[in-house]
Structure formats: C-alpha cells, structure tokens
Amino acid sequence: MAMKLPIVTLGIETSCDETAAAIYHSERGLISSTLYSQIDLHKNFGGVVPELASRSQLEKISPIVYEAIQRAQITLDDIDVVAVTNKPGLPGSLLVGICFAKALAWSKNKKLIGINHLEGHAFSACIEYDIPFPYLCLTASGGHTSLYLIKNFGDYQVLGETQDDAAGEAFDKIAKLMNLPYPGGPVIERLAREVDFKDFYYYPRSRHKTLDFSFSGLKTAVLYDLVKKNAYSLSTKTFLQGENEQFKKEVASSLLVCIADIFEQKLGLALQAYPYVKAITFVGGVACNKYIVERLRVFSVAHAIPFFHPSRDYCTDNAAMIAFVGNYKAQQGLFADFTLDINE
C-alpha cells in the first residue's frame, strides 16, 4: 500500500568503504547528505581491506546518521522511512548498515526498504536533473561497470555489464602496478593531465559487438607492455620506473584515452540498438574523470542526444542516491520486512 505524501526518507549507504546518510523529502527534495570516506585507511593496501572496512563502518554509522538528521533540521520522529543499501557490496560492511537501519525502524516504528546500490547509481543523475525517460545510463565505478536502459523510476533493464573487472578496478590495479596509491583513478587522471591527452602506447580495445565490458585483459595488456619496456619486474613484482614521471604520465594518458574509447564504442552500439532513447547519463566514481566526461559529452552532442552527469558528490558512493530511490519506492509502497538481508 502506497504512503501518504509528504514522505521523509532516511537513506543509509555502507556497501563498501564509505559510511553515508541522507534525508530526502518527497516535496522539498534532498535536504541533507553526510559521508565519511575510509580512503586513508586503505590507501597503502592498493584496495579496500574488508575487515578494516566493516570495523570502520561500525564506528561511524551512528555519528554520520545523526549528522544527516541534524543538518536537515529535523528530528528522528519526522522520518517515515529508512532506506538502506542491502546489496551488492562487502558483506561485513552491508550488514552494519542493515542492522542499524532495522534497529532504527523497529524501535521507532518506521517503514524499512532495501535498496540495490546499483539502482542508486542508475538514478543518481535524477537527484539534480529532470531526465526524460527512457535514457541510457553508463555506471562505472570501482565495483561495477554496467549499461542500463532506464524506462522509468524503478523500471530498468541491464543491457551489458563487466564480465570481469570494473573500469575503476582497472584504474586501481594499474595504479598499483606503478606503485601509485589507492584509489588509482584520481592519481592517473592527474598524471595524464600533465602530458595532455594522447595515446602514447595504444592499449588494446575489445571490439566485441555485445554491450558487455571486459577490463581484466586491459590490465594484463598494460602489465605485459610495462614488462616489455623494462618498466616492471614480474619476478619481484616491482615497478622499475619509480622516478620516471614522464613514463607514468604517458601510461596514464594512454589508459584514459583507451577507456574513453571503450565507453564511446559501447554507447554507440547501444544507440544503434535503442535509437529511441532521449538522454545519456554517466555516473559512478569513474564519472569524476573530467577527460572521460568531456569525451562522452562531445560524443552525445555528435549524436544529438542530451547528456547528464551528476556532481562529484553523487558520482562516488553516497546516501543521497539511496534516499532518492527509497523515496520513490516508498511512494510505490515497496517496503521490506525485518527478514531483509544481503542476498535477496
């Protein structure tokens, strides 16, 4: 049964290494969004360490939720619905958010909704923009790379997804090969910017005609190219060009051009298959990359189709997108019960 308007939704996101909360008001829109990022905790490990991530989630969840409530200038009693990411993600991290959301919903008699994190990303551009349906959404982050046909709120179809690594994962793993810190994407973009954007090493692009992605081959191709250029030792697993900034910049630049080409190729195929779409959105952590965003904007102009791209805070993991999806699910009466878990 649908709820009466207005609805105040608390969104909670703990699927990986961010602890986030947000309040969405069905008439006023997003009224607060808070986040704690664990980047410093994982920086020296080349990726997220699940055990550290879940312990940090437990420490931060309560202050982050209360900060969101305070910033929204409401009280706990004003909240009608608790929407929480319940999949996909690191089990330990997800469980912290779900248990917190259930405890809150149970003790304060709120409605509970489980949100698929990927649905959050897929609609994240709608927080700030009125996007016409149907649209194509390219989601690229550290854990996922998918192409969606979005038909309406809550009504979408997966057209393609990565068969192995995600695009952000490719940035992170290649950065690790070159002894650069986690997360790799921002560092690689910074390096590439210093030599302009040029394809120095021409890494391979898959030319498969499907809408699926694959990035593990790219990582391997870069690895073997580094070995061939005496830049990496397979036996000691060390990068041998530590001081050679120019070389790192050229690898970074080549990588960006390659990934932008792959995204353009897939969007081109999708537009052939679904010529009636009215817009393209590009979301997820990799959509913080200004070069790739610009390439896709130019691509969209060339195809005479509007292009939307969320602000940085809604590209990377956040709870605003979870509260936003929670709000329309609440209006559709799609509530969970207290058996909600991470596998549904």
Given ligand KG4, Zn ion, none, residue 203, with its beta carbon under 5 to 8 Å by kind, binds none
Q: Fill in the per-residue mask, 81 to 110: x = in contact with ligand KG4 (CB under 6 A), - = not in contact.
A: ------------------------------
Question: Which of the ranges 63-71, 74-82, 218-226, 280-288 carries the binding residues for ligand KG4, by CB under 6 A?
Answer: 280-288
How far apart CA 344 and CA 119 sit, in angstroms, is 14
Out of 11, 143, 160, 310, name the contact with ligand KG4 by CB under 6 A.
143
Regarding 317 and contact with ligand KG4 (CB under 6 A), the answer is yes
Q: Which residue reads 């878990």 in tokens?
A: 341
Stretch that binds ligand KG4, among 69-77, 101-109, 166-174, 296-304 (CB under 6 A): 166-174
The stretch near ligand KG4 (CB under 6 A) out of 71-79, 229-237, 244-252, 285-293 is: 285-293
**What is the Cα–Cα distance from 251 to 123, expressed in whole angstroms?**
33
Residue of 24, 134, 27 whose CA lies nearest to 72: 24
Q: Which residues, 6 or more positions from 140, have their beta carbon under 8 angstroms from its beta carbon?
A: 166, 167, 168, 263, 282, 283, 284, 285, 286, 287
Binding of ligand KG4 by 13 (CB under 6 A): no
141: contact with Zn ion by CB under 5 A? yes
From candidates 33, 253, 289, 327, binder to ligand KG4 by CB under 6 A: 289
Q: Is 142 in the site for ligand KG4 (CB under 6 A)?
A: yes
**Of Zn ion, ligand KG4, none, which one does residue 82 interact with (CB within 5 to 8 Å by kind)?**
none
Binding of ligand KG4 by 171 (CB under 6 A) = yes
Provide, rounded to whole angstroms, the least separation between the CB of residue 275 and Zn ion.
29
